[in-house]
Structure 1
Amino acid sequence: MITNKLNVLLLVVTLYTLYGYCSGIGFNNYGRLRLPVPDNHIQTLPDKWFDQRLDHFNTSDSRTFKQRYFINDKYYKTGGPVFLVLDGEGESSDYFITEGAIASYAQQFNALAIELEHRYYGQSVATPDLSLDNLRYLSSKQALKDIEQFILKSTDSLSLTNTSSKWIAFGGSYAGNLAAWVREKYPHAVAGSVASSAPVEDRFEFKEYFGVVEESLKKCSKPIGEAVHQLEDLLKTPEGRQSISKQFNLCKPLNSTTDTSSVHLLRFGLIIPFAVAAQHDGKPGIIGVQEVCKGMMTTTNDMDGSTPLDRWAKLHKQFSKGECIDYDYNENIRVYRNTSTTSPMARAGMRQWTYQDCNEFGLFQTTGLPDSLFGHNAVPVDYFLKQCSDIYGKQFTPQSIQKAVQTTNALYGGFRPNVTNVVFPNGSLDPWHALGVLKDLNNSTRALYIHGSSHGSDLFAQQSTDTQELIDARKTIAKQLQLFLQ
C-alpha cells in the first residue's frame, strides 16, 4: 500500500510539474494552465509579501494571509506603466517577468513588471489546512478582489499614481480568464488586459477538448485510432489485460475491468501524451505533435513488425520517464482527500484546482463526441462527477455542479465578457481555444487566432523555432498595449 501511494504521488506530481493541470485527478493533471516554465530557468527575484484579506466579502472577518509576489524594476522609468502578471493554479515563478514575453514588453514600454501568486497556491497559503470549510475562500471572485486590492494598495506603497502609471494585467489559461475578468469587474484598476489562451466559457462537459486534440494530430490519426481499438479489444480478455499490464508498465496487473472508475482513469492516463502534444507543442522539453506522429507512424514498410499499440506504449514510456502507471482510482481518491497544506497534492495545487472545477468551472474533458478518436465515452462525464463527490462530499452532485457552471458563465459572460481594452490570443493547436474568444468583441477588444501555436505560447520568450505568425502576434499585442496606455 505504501509503495502504491508513493507511485501515485511521484507520477502525478511529476506530470503536474511538467505539464500543468487539467480537470480531475491523477493522470488528469497535465493540462490547462499552468504554463510549463522552462527547466533551465533560475529564479533571481526575491519573494515579497502582501497582506491580503481572507474574505473580502465579509466585513466582520478580519483575518488575513500573506500573498507572494515578485517585482522586476530593471526596465522601469518614472511614469512608466505597471505590467501585472497573474498566476493561476500553481506556484509562481518569476520567469514571465524576467525572461518571458512580458519582460520584453516591459523593456519596450519602460514598465515595472510584477507577478502575483494566486491565493491557496504555491506559497500563498491562506488557511491552516485545505478542508472543505476552508476551501470556500478559494474562488475566482475572491481572487479578482485580491488583484484589485493589490493594485490599489501597491499604487500607494510603490509611490505610483493612477494618472501616470497605468496597470495592464497579463495571464494565461485560467489566469488569462482572471486578466479579462478583472478588466470587466474592476476597470478602474487596470487600463487593459492580455488574456492568453483564456477559456472564458465554462462547460459542464468539455467534449470539444479531445476533438481539437484529434484535429491537431490528424496526420497520424489513423494509427492512433487503430491503437485505441487494439487497446479496447485487449481489455475484454484476461490475456489481453495481462498484455496491457506489461506493455504500458502498470504498477499492478490489470486483472479485471469491473472497477470501471479505475479503467476510466487508466484510459485517461494513456491518452495524456496526445493531449500534451497538442496543448504544449513547441515548448521546451515537451514531446510535441511532430514527435508524437513520428512515433505513431509505421517505419518503412512496417519492417520492425510493431503494431500501433506497441508504438503507443513506447511513446507513453518516453512520456512517463519510465515510471509505472498507477491507475487505482480509490488510491487516487485517498491521496486527494489529504487536507494538509504541505502534502504533495497541495503543493502541486491539485486538491485546490479540482475543487475549483467542481465548485465553479466544470471543464471536465471527456471523450463524449460521437466519433471520438479516443473512443466514444471511454472517459465519460460521470467519471469526473464521481470524483467531485468522492473527494469533497456528497453535496457535490451533477445538479449542483451544473448550476455552479451556469452561475459562473452568468457572472462573467462566457464567450462574450462585457469588456473593453482586452487582447485574447489563442493557438489553433491548443484544445482550450474551443472555449476562448476567437472574434473581436468590439473596437478595443481583439481576438488573435495564431495558426500552429499552442497553449499560451505568446507569453513565452521568442525562440528560433517560433513561426512568423507567432512572432507577428507578439508585435500585434505590443501595438494594442500602446493603445491601452494612451
Structure 2
Amino acid sequence: MLSNIGIVLIAFGVCHASPISFTKEALKHEIDTDGDFKVAYMTQYIDHFNFKSHGAQTYRQKYLISEKYWKEGSPIFFYTGNEGAIEGFQRASGFLIEHASKFNAMVIFAEHRYYGTSLPFGNASFTGQNIGYLTISQAMSDYAYLIRYLQSKYCKKTCPLIAFGGSYGGELAAYMRFKYPNLVTGSLSASAPLNWLSGNGDRHGFFKSVTEQFGKSSQACVARVRQGFADTRSLAEQGNYAQISKNFRTCKPVTPESLNHLYGWVRNSFTTIAMMNYPYPADLLGPMPGHPVNVACEKALNADNALTGLAEAAGVFYNATALPCFDIFTQYVECADPTGCGLGNDNLAWDYQACTEINLPGGSTNVTDMFPPIPFTEDMRKAYCEKKYGVSPRPEWLSAEFWGVDVASSSNIIFSNGDLDPWGPGGFHEDLSPTLLALQVVGGAHHLDLRGSNPMDPPSVVSIREKEASIIGRWIEEFYQKLYRTRSYPADVL
C-alpha cells in the first residue's frame, strides 16, 4: 500500500527522490535546523480520495524530525501542524522536546498541506480548482501516511504515537485519535475550541471572551476601549477623518469606505494580544511583550484621551518594531474569519478553510463585547465565499464527519484550556469519561502548556504539564502492556 508513496530529502541543495525505504538510511541527509531538528519531506498524494482526479500525482509535505533522544521501539511524539509554516509551531511547542528526553521519544512536527512550503501545486496552489484539495480529511490522510511510514521505518513491531496540537492543530490532534485510533495511541489537544469550530455554541462568544480577558486586567480598560471607539465614530460622523488618521498614525488617510477596515484592524490587534497573553515576551504571531493585555491596558488608560489610548493599545501588537506609521491594509486583511486569517498564502489558505468546513465566529456586536458592531452573519459569509471561491460553507460538516460534541465514544485525549485564552469557552471543560480528560490551566493563555518551560511560568502550568506527562506516560505503559504483555517498557527500549 505504501509502495507508491516516497520520501524526498534535501541535501546540500540537491533533491533526491526514492520509494519508501524501511531502513534508517532514508533520512541520512536531511537539513539540520537548530541542532535538535532536521528537515525532511514526505511525498504525498495530492488527492487521497478520488483516484481519477490526479491519479498518482504527488507533492512534497515538509516535516521536522528529532532523533536526539530516540531509542528504537520508543514512543513517537507527533505534532499535527496547523495554519502556518511548521517552524513557528515547533518553536512554540517546547513541551514535546523537553519530554522526549523522559520517554526516549522521536519528535515530529508535520506541516499542514497548503501552509508553509507544503504546497501541492507550488505557486499555483491557490488558483482555480487547485485550492479544492485543501480539506481537513486530506490533511489528516497526509498525517496518517506519514505516521505509517515512520512506524514501518523506525519500529520493529510498532510504537506508541502521541499526537499533539494547539488551537486548530489541537483540533486535528483530537480528530486523529477519533479517526485513526489504530495509529494514534493518545492525543493532547491544547486550546482547541472543538465546540465552536464544529458549529456549536455562541457565534458571538469569541469577542465576548476577548473583552472578558481585558476585563480581568481592568474593567476601566474595557470602558476606555469602548470610549475610544465611540470617539472615533463621533469624529467620523463629523467628517473629521483627518483627525482619525492622525490619532491612529495610518500611512494612508482613513476614509468613510475604510473606517470599518480600521475597526477590524484594531479589533484584530486586541484579539491577538488576548491570545498571546503570556507572562513573558513571545513571538508566535509577532513580537509581543510579557503580559501584553496589561501593557495594552496601561497604554489605553495612561494616554491623554480615549482615542489616543485606543490607538496606542492597538500598537502593542502592530508597533512592536516601532513603525513610523501603520499600513492597516497590509497589516490586516479582511477574510471569512473575523478573528483574522494572517497574511500572505497562509491568509488565502485559512480564508478558504473558513469558507468550507470550519465554523468561525460571527462579528462583534458592541453589546456583549467592547468592539464596534461589525456584523458577519452566515448569509454574509456565504455571499463572500461564493464570490471569492465559488463555494458555500457547510456548517454541519464537521459535526457529521468528526463527531461535533458527541465524542464520548473516543478515549485517551487530554483537552486543555487556559482561563486567559479567549478561545477557551469553545472547548471542553469537564471530563467526558475516565479517559477523555479536561484540564484547566489557571493563568494560561493560548496553549501555554505546549510551550517550553520558562522561569516566569505560573505554578499552575508547571503542575498541568506534569499531569499531562503523567497521563501520557500511562497511555504508553498501557500500550506496551497490551503489545508485550508486560508491566512496563520492553527491556530493549529502556
Which TM bucket (shorter chain)?
0.7 to 0.9
Task: Indicate the residue corresponding to 2:16 in structure 1.
Answer: none
Task: Indicate the residue corresponding to 2:226 in structure 1.
Answer: 225
Q: How many residues align?
A: 413
* Structure 2 SS opposite 1:136: helix
User: TM-score w.r.t. structure 2 length?
Assistant: 0.78
* Structure 1 SS opposite 2:414: strand
Match of 1:173 among 145, 167, 174: 167
Task: Indicate the residue corresponding to 2:243 in structure 1.
Answer: 243
* Structure 1 SS opposite 2:165: strand
1:399-429 CA-to-partner distances (Å, cap 9, x unmatched) read: x32xx12111222122333421000111111
Native 8 Å contact 2:44 2:58 kept in 1: yes
1:145-181 CA-to-partner distances (Å, cap 9, x unmatched) read: 111111112211234432xx21110011111111000
Native 8 Å contact 2:419 2:442 kept in 1: yes
1:45 is aligned to 2:42: no
1:294 and 1:59 map into 2 onto residues whose CA distance is 58
Task: Indicate the residue corresponding to 2:293 in structure 1.
Answer: 289
1:3-52 CA-to-partner distances (Å, cap 9, x unmatched) read: xxxxxxxxxxxxxxxxxxxxxxxxxxxxxxxxxxxxxx957633211111
Amino acid at match of 1:354: D
Q: How does 1:64-213 map to 2 (within 5 A)?
A: 64-93=58-87, 96=90, 100-128=94-122, 129=124, 130-162=126-158, 165-201=159-195, 202=197, 206-213=203-210
2:175 and 2:333 map into 1 onto residues whose CA distance is 33
Q: Please say which structure displays the higher CA radius of gyration.
A: 2
1:268-311 CA-to-partner distances (Å, cap 9, x unmatched) read: 1012332222111115232411111211224xxxxx7x111111
Task: Indicate the residue corresponding to 2:313 in structure 1.
Answer: 315
Q: CA deviation at 1:248?
A: 0.8
Unaligned runs of 5+ residues in structure 1 are: 1-40, 299-303, 335-343
Q: CA deviation at 1:215?
A: 0.7
Task: Indicate the residue corresponding to 1:340 in structure 2.
Answer: none
Q: CA deviation at 1:368?
A: 3.3
Native 8 Å contact 2:300 2:312 kept in 1: no
User: Given the superposition, is the C-alpha separation of residues 352 and 226 from structure 1 closer, same or farther in structure 2, using an over 3 Å criterion?
Assistant: same
2:455 and 2:90 map into 1 onto residues whose CA distance is 18
1:326 and 1:414 map into 2 onto residues whose CA distance is 39
Native 8 Å contact 1:195 1:424 kept in 2: yes
Amino acid at match of 1:131: T
1:323 and 1:428 map into 2 onto residues whose CA distance is 35
User: TM-score w.r.t. structure 1 length?
Assistant: 0.79
Task: Indicate the residue corresponding to 2:485 in structure 1.
Answer: none
Match of 2:461 among 467, 470, 477: 470
Amino acid at match of 2:344: M
User: Given the superposition, is the C-alpha separation of residues 227 and 97 from structure 1 closer, same or farther in structure 2, using an over 3 Å criterion?
Assistant: closer
Amino acid at match of 2:140: L
1:361 is aligned to 2:358: yes
Task: Indicate the residue corresponding to 1:5 in structure 2.
Answer: none
Amino acid at match of 1:252: K
* Superposed CA RMSD: 2.5
Match of 2:46 among 54, 77, 90: 54
1:442 and 1:107 map into 2 onto residues whose CA distance is 30
Amino acid at match of 2:463: D
1:95 and 1:278 map into 2 onto residues whose CA distance is 18
Native 8 Å contact 1:197 1:432 kept in 2: yes
Match of 1:484 among 475, 484, 491: 475
1:243-262 CA-to-partner distances (Å, cap 9, x unmatched) read: 1111112232223x2x3xx4
Amino acid at match of 1:345: G
Native 8 Å contact 1:206 1:364 kept in 2: yes
1:170-226 CA-to-partner distances (Å, cap 9, x unmatched) read: 011111111000100110011000011112122668311111111111112121121
Task: Indicate the residue corresponding to 1:413 in structure 2.
Answer: 403
Q: How does 1:357-436 map to 2 (within 5 A)?
A: 357-368=354-365, 370-375=367-372, 377-381=373-377, 384-385=381-382, 387-393=384-390, 396=391, 400-401=392-393, 404-417=394-407, 418-436=409-427
2:128 and 2:474 map into 1 onto residues whose CA distance is 44
Unaligned runs of 5+ residues in structure 2 are: 1-32, 336-342, 478-494
Q: CA deviation at 1:325?
A: 4.0
1:229-256 CA-to-partner distances (Å, cap 9, x unmatched) read: 11221121222x221111112232223x
User: Given the superposition, is the C-alpha separation of residues 326 and 171 from structure 1 closer, same or farther in structure 2, using an over 3 Å criterion?
Assistant: same
Task: Indicate the residue corresponding to 2:5 in structure 1.
Answer: none
Q: How does 1:15-34 map to 2 (within 5 A)?
A: none
* Structure 2 SS opposite 1:423: strand
Amino acid at match of 2:301: M
Q: Structure 1 residues 112-121 or 308-317, which shifts more?
A: 308-317
* Structure 2 SS opposite 1:442: coil
Native 8 Å contact 1:43 1:94 kept in 2: no
